[in-house]
Structure 1
């Protein structure tokens, strides 16, 4: 159950990062409220998962899901550039996540 909460917390991180972009510097009230609610929900689930999972593992997985998810949203939804160096960076993050999961 802790892993499911952690994964969902990471997905919420992707969501709030995206809505933060759409909030245009918190000038759009709808997206600003969605961002704040997403941040709170993500942090609550992260903290609940940390009752069972080690801090280093939980935090690394949470930020990794957020980073890779935001990277993918940027590419597929916002039309951000795809370069070999950015893909390599994403691959290194994913490999770090896999190693962290295997070590816990």
Structure 2
């Protein structure tokens, strides 16, 4: 169950981040509301997941997959450019999370 909560927290964070871009500096109400609700939901779900998972690796997974999700969403929704160096950076983020998780489990208790 904590992994489901983590997955939902990541999805909410990505939705909030993409809505932040769509809010045009908080001048559009709809996306602005999604930003506030999305981040609130994401942090709540992340906090629940952390009742049984270790904070370091879980935060790394949350932030890394949120970064990748925002990158992909930006490309698909806002036609943001894809450059080789950007893709390499995204790959390094994923590799870093994998290495961090190899160093120790993510469950505690």
Deviation digits for residues 66-94 of structure 1 (CA, Å, limit 9, x no counterpart):
10000101112211111111010011111
Kindly indicate whether the alpha-carbon contact (under 8 Å) linking 1:9 and 1:41 is maintained by their aligned counterparts in 2. Answer: yes
Segments of structure 1 that go 5 or more residues without pairing to the other structure are: none
Offset of 1:20 from its aligned partner?
0.8
In structure 1, C-alpha distance between the alignment counterparts of 2:24 and 2:51, rounded to whole Å: 35
Alignment of 1:67-82 (within 5 A): 67-82=67-82
Q: How many residue pairs were aligned?
A: 104
1:25-81 Cα shifts (integer Å, max 9, x gaps)? 111111111110001000000000111111101111111111000010111221111
The answer for the alignment partner of 1:39 in structure 2 is 39
Q: TM-score, normalization: structure 1?
A: 0.93
Q: Which runs of 4+ in 1 moved over 3 A?
A: 100-103
Aligned positions of 1:18-97 closer than 5 A: 18-97=18-97
Structure 2: which 5+ residue stretches go unaligned? none
